[in-house]
Chains A and B, each alone.
Chain A
């Protein structure tokens, strides 16, 4: 663990740093790949909507001594779907199965009657409508749309529009991946899943904002110097908050992982799976996208701004000059403009002292 503490120190000093920005194309590629897989999964397999969304069949058995878990098994065998079984006041059982039509429900009724060893006619079957109706869903979409608009406005004011865009892209990325995984795994979508997704939505933005906050702080006076480019500062900012990101992610993921793997896996609490899976995937994606997608995206957008472009030119020119002074032999390797992408990759070891010099040179009072 002290190793990690050490890592924190070295990250802080810039001794080691991973070039997130320089390698962004790799990560963009990976994300696009995952997202496409997720979308394909959604398109091909679709979501397996639970009874709360699409309705289904409800069977009421006569008073019976069959236990709830036993009945769950019977119902699953008969229908192939997960069933919700509740014991009613008078020892009757209510069995709900998603997505049934009348024919299917007749067949299941017959099988259940056999399993329960009761007369077929004594089981009451009926179709039920969704408890999570269109109304709830529509309002939820409406709420989401309003929230997205407000949050973009807020981020555009508190930070700037580029960060708002990047945060939104990261958010959509996280949500798409999470829903895609749902389609691929084939878990039934319950209200719990939706709540899980909404939690992710909150978390993803939260995490992105924390990273952006540090980015904003570090790039405050960026145009007033000629030592580092925006991308480099952005990279340093990610590395600076890396320990926080790792710690937060671990702390947030551990309990959910407990629910998913220990609760759902070993202890057989199957119904916990649906919500903990969405939380687990979403939290992981949220932490990943803040670092690997959102911040590089901001850097990309920023580098198009004339001021930042000019800064980059100045910085590169200065470096080229320094380099040519030092080693006359190696004048310049390739046009400075073309080497843009390569430059940050080298940043770590070579230019870091300069960067540090900047931090040190600034009077501490500036930091507020």
Chain B
């Protein structure tokens, strides 16, 4: 769309238009922000810009078969993970019977996306039966008193007392369990991908599925626990592999560079019982990025039960391990039952890690484990020359629109075109800014949608102009005509834009994928339409009405009472030609 220039509006920047100044400041501010952020163009979708294509292969896993139903579920979940808001234009599809292709547009953080699609994200809350540090790490102090007293927060907080760590500041005020920074977020026992290796996470590594786990007898598990050396990567990644949620198991977790091994009880709460998770920055305890989870009713009850039980135990058995894909992500201790239906996972998360973990927990675990097969770049699905042809055609169409407006509205078209430019500038800048913030990517349908939006935006001016002209035909002079036309035009604009906005809002909330992306674009352009008409077109029109050119109804102003036919019922005598000479005085109609 048009370049983000606010050139024309400068001329209108005179006295009364406070709202005019406001919108100009907004444009300048947003444009400044855009340049400051360094993202001066909107991100383009994979159809326009190409991107990265990841092929994942399902791995035979205990418990779940590689069948169509599971593959489809996996596609669905991956789609939501990489395209949570529906605006990022990522595509997920099955290939053959056991592969999934994920296409993500250029400019997306592909590392993050790869981690997101590949991670199984099976999450369990398991009571800790025993734990100790392993490996030759620098003498950790395993005593690690439960630090940070259980705070006097109203709804119980489980302050972490992770072994070895320096006492974390007690959590306070938050109605949830908080734990010390313990392990890294992205980790995996089974669904390991190479992607994670490249990730910032210190723990990632590929795994081979091992025969470990599934030990039924307590003794065997004990032996396994005793033998487990979590300082070894291979041991870490296979620890607890294949264990059923209902069985006790072993696991590894890292805290401050030291690996601990855990003997864990059967899963008390399941990740599927997480209703919603989100990443929050903990300012109170300076614990950095955390993931807070809301359980559903069943999960909340189970969580309250298990924390109530654990609270009566001695350390370390008052801890529960938050086990994600086999790794103990954190193991906060509990001082009293947590009934709020909320829990937090803290760890040394970066913002991205916390967000992607929250994302994964919100959308659920994959039914299968996947291994990354290949990662390759792909070019745009639409050839470059086609895109250029399309843009050229669109530009020609726009030029025709401008010619039409000028021919029909004469001087008034300046206001219409200025408003269109402001609208285009705002759309462009906001879309550019939304790229890095919410991953918004512009695909071809969205571009076409924006072109249709031109029509809807222009309609607001046209409704307004026609009202003004009607008032002039009634015999009013311009200034009162503008003021009288506005309330009526405003109502029409609001009522009709509300319908568009309703469509956008409903579709955005209910749908997923590309439809959601469309809804977002529609909502954005609708809101901008209202903003531009209210804060730009109307004030500009008011200002213009003061200028003699418009107020006196110059022939080229588009508001000439004569050519508008403001003259009363001399009906049959009118000549078809527009500019007729004659007295101007508008008659009372």
User: Which residues of A approach B to under 8 Å, CB–CB?
Assistant: 1-6, 8-10, 12-13, 15, 55, 58, 68-69, 72, 84, 86-90, 92, 94, 126-136, 139-140, 142-144, 146-147, 150-151, 154-155, 158, 191-192, 194-196, 198-199, 201-203, 205-207, 209-210, 213-214, 217, 240-241, 243-244, 247-248, 250-259, 261-264, 267-272, 275-276, 279, 283, 353, 356, 360, 364, 367-368
In angstroms, Cα B400 to Cα A265, docked, is 17
A202 touches B522 (CB 8 A): yes
A134 contact set on B, CB distance < 8 A: 72
A272 touches B386 (CB 8 A): yes
Q: Looking across the interface, which residue of chain B has its beta carbon closest to that of A263? A: B393
Q: Which B residues, 201 to 252, have Cβ-Cβ distances below 8 Å to chain A?
A: none
A133 touches B394 (CB 8 A): no
A269-B389 contact, Cβ under 8 Å, with A12-B473, A192-B445, A251-B455: yes
For residue B125, give the distance in angstroms from its CB to the closest CB of chain A.
29
B487 touches A254 (CB 8 A): no
Q: Looking across the interface, which residue of chain A has its beta carbon closest to that of B492? A: A213
B566 contact set on A, CB distance < 8 A: 9
In angstroms, Cα B545 to Cα A26, docked, is 44
Output the residue of A5, A58, A130 with the most chain B CB within 10 A.
A5
7 A-B contacts (beta carbon < 8 Å): A3-B576, A13-B571, A87-B378, A194-B514, A241-B466, A244-B462, A247-B466
A272 contact set on B, CB distance < 8 A: 386, 389-390, 393, 444, 448
A129 touches B95 (CB 8 A): yes
B495 touches A158 (CB 8 A): yes
In angstroms, Cα B497 to Cα A154, docked, is 12
**B283 interface contact, C-beta 8 A:** no
A151-B503 contact, Cβ under 8 Å, with A244-B462, A254-B400, A254-B404: yes
Q: Which B residues, 386 to 400, have Cβ-Cβ distances below 8 Å to chain A?
A: 386-387, 389-390, 392-398, 400
For residue A56, give the distance in angstroms from its CB to the closest CB of chain B.
10
- 8 Å CB contact of B401 from A240, A254, A259, A261: A254
B395 contact set on A, CB distance < 8 A: 258
In angstroms, Cα B102 to Cα A131, docked, is 9
- The tally of residues in B whose CB lies under 8 Å from a CB in A reads 99
A146 contact set on B, CB distance < 8 A: 506, 510
A253 contact set on B, CB distance < 8 A: 455
In angstroms, Cα B86 to Cα A135, docked, is 13
- 8 Å CB contact of A88 from B79, B376, B462: B376
In angstroms, Cα B448 to Cα A201, docked, is 15
Q: Given A154-B502, A263-B390, A360-B589, 10 more contacts at CB 8 Å?
A: A2-B579, A6-B563, A8-B565, A133-B72, A136-B79, A140-B515, A147-B503, A192-B448, A258-B393, A258-B397
B53 touches A88 (CB 8 A): yes
A283-B455 contact, Cβ under 8 Å, with A267-B392, A275-B448: yes
A210 touches B502 (CB 8 A): no
**B408 interface contact, C-beta 8 A:** yes
A86 touches B577 (CB 8 A): no
B469 touches A143 (CB 8 A): no
The 8 closest A-B pairs by CB, nearest first: A252-B455, A9-B565, A258-B397, A2-B578, A263-B393, A255-B397, A129-B94, A267-B389
